[in-house]
């Protein structure tokens, strides 16, 4: 499973106005674009985050948004891409990058919007930086990378965390000891004067100088169609060529490169592996049409089917004149004893509904250290069993209320109980139901598992 990633940086709303051009304007020698459609997508750091999420990662984006139409559209696009958003308040307007395009080419680009942070980064934003094994700072020169609280949190990251810094000419230098800094050729030239020649040896020399100045562990210079050059410690420079691409759109290629590189480092890969994969991913991205063509890939993934509704399952069974069976419990750390009991309960009728103690209920019954597994995760595991038709979570100490709603024909309990021990047995008798005690599998219990593993409640 892919490791998580935190992205910090300036988000933009990208708009492509796509149309056809077949004439010039009568009042000036400029093309007239007949608009066909508009496409919107996350841009800037938000594009890097969305691309990382499209790789199957859990991604948190820390950025700033204004409360305006562009900000609301951008927020929705970020969330639709499957990215968790930690949004700071932006004064002014949300930045937008608008491209007017015909036949796969841009005719003109218009930038608008912008502002400053309305307040210092809150604790939640600073705390979010360290949750994943890697952080990507995607600096678009609009101030977020220089915010003091976020910068302190980035500087304080342990060395075990990978920190990738994608710089901008208007942005600050990265914190010392950053794992990887990824300037492009132009950004490198702004930092280190270009000597005679611009081949790999000269680029490596300037990359070493920048690594020393910024105290970075490694510097990777992205070189467009020429691939990338990595300077990592005392090792010889690594040149990674880019595959030949017949045509394409380079918009967003840097974000594709940085997000894939950060992802490989998050997974524990080496710097060389990360750069190699990132060059291949960026090249493929450009060849496929760049950010404009990536919009479809950034759409929400199809959601998993909703879990079965207990009441719908019961109603469907009753329409078939079937027998409704219910059972209940905490099911914290599901073990073979649970599974055998559930299988036996299901064989008693035509559907099985599990009444699951919610987290608050479990804490009252078992103590403050329980449950070990949250209620939604426990429910998901139960729903995955072939013998379980539906799960109904309740927060009371006992399931009398939910049983009164479901009204099962059989209430099944596993363990060393008698019917007299179960207060819900008399509830079930009200509508003619009966209680069945199923065999107890000795030596199988959550408590025993906890004790054997040395876990303290």
| Catalytic positions | 255
Q: Of the candidates 44, 36, 17, 54, which has an alpha carbon nearest to the alpha carbon of residue 294?
A: 54
The pair of three-digit structure tokens given for residue 376, joined into one six-digit string: 């939604």
Burial class, 73, CB count within 10 angstroms (exposed 0-12 / middle 13-18 / buried 19+): middle
Rounded to whole angstroms, how far apart are CA atoms 162 and 181?
11
**Maximum distance among all Cα pairs of the chain, rounded to whole angstroms:** 93
Rounded to whole angstroms, how far apart are CA atoms 280 and 172?
28
Rounded to whole angstroms, how far apart are CA atoms 390 and 25?
64
* DSSP states of 94-163: EEEEEEEEETTEEEEEEEEEE--BSSPPPHHHHHHTTSSSEEEEE--SSSGGG-HHHHHHHHT--TTSEE
Question: For 427, phi and psi rounded to 5 degrees?
Answer: -65, -45
Q: Of the candidates 411, 272, 295, which has an alpha carbon nearest to the alpha carbon of residue 345?
A: 411
Q: Of the candidates 297, 296, 285, 299, which has an alpha carbon nearest to the alpha carbon of residue 251?
A: 285
Residue 184 near residue 223 (C-beta atoms within 8 A)? yes
* DSSP states of 178-207: -SEE--BHHHHHHHS---S--SHHHHHHHH
Rounded to whole angstroms, how far apart are CA atoms 321 and 329?
27
Q: Give 373-379's long-range contacts (Cβ < 8 A, gap of 24+).
A: 373/332, 373/333, 378/330, 378/331, 378/332, 378/334, 379/307
Kindly give the interhelix angle for 45-54 and 253-266, rounded to the nearest 10 degrees: 50
Q: Of the candidates 82, 217, 88, which has an alpha carbon nearest to the alpha carbon of residue 142?
A: 88
End-to-end CA distance of the chain: 29
């Amino acid at each position: 499973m892919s490791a998580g990633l935190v992205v910090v940086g300036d988000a933009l709303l990208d708009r492509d106005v796509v149309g056809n051009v077949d004439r010039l304007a009568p009042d000036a020698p400029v093309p007239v674009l007949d608009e066909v459609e508009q496409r919107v997508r996350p841009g800037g750091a938000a594009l890097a985050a969305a691309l990382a999420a499209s790789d199957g990662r859990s991604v948190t984006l820390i950025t700033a948004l204004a409360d305006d139409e562009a900000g609301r559209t951008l927020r929705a696009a970020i969330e639709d891409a499957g990215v968790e958003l930690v949004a700071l308040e932006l004064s002014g307007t949300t930045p937008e990058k608008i491209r007017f395009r015909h036949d796969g080419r841009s005719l003109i680009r218009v930038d608008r919007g912008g502002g400053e942070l309305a307040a210092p980064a809150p604790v939640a934003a600073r705390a979010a930086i360290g949750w994943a094994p890697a952080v990507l700072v995607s600096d678009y020169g609009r101030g977020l990378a220089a915010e003091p609280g976020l910068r302190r949190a980035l500087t304080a990251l342990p060395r075990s965390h990978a920190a990738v810094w994608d710089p901008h000419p208007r942005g600050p230098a990265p914190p010392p000891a950053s794992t990887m800094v990824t300037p492009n050729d132009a950004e490198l030239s702004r930092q280190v004067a270009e000597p005679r020649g611009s081949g790999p040896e000269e680029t490596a020399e300037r990359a070493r100088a920048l690594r020393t100045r910024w105290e970075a562990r490694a510097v990777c210079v992205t070189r467009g169609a020429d691939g990338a050059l990595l300077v990592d410690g005392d090792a010889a420079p690594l040149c990674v060529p880019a595959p030949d691409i017949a045509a394409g759109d380079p918009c967003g290629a840097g974000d594709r490169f940085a997000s894939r590189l950060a992802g490989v480092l998050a997974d524990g890969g080496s710097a060389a592996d990360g750069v190699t994969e990132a060059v291949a991913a960026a090249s493929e991205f450009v060849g496929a049409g760049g950010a404009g063509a990536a919009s479809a890939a950034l759409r929400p993934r199809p959601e998993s089917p909703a879990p079965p509704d207990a009441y719908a399952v019961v109603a469907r069974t009753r329409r078939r004149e079937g027998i409704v069976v219910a059972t209940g419990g905490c099911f914290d750390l599901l073990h073979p004893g649970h599974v055998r009991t559930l299988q036996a309960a299901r064989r008693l009728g035509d559907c099985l509904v599990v009444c699951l103690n919610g987290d608050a209920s479990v804490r009252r019954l078992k103590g403050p250290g329980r449950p070990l597994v949250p209620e939604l995760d426990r429910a998901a595991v139960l729903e995955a069993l072939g013998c379980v038709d539906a799960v109904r979570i309740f927060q009371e100490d006992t399931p009398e209320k939910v049983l009164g709603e479901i009204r099962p024909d059989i209430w099944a309990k596993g363990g060393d109980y008698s019917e007299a021990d179960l207060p819900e047995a008399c509830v079930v008798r009200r509508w003619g139901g009966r209680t069945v005690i199923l065999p107890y599998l000795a030596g199988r219990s959550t408590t025993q598992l906890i004790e054997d593993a040395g876990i303290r409640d």
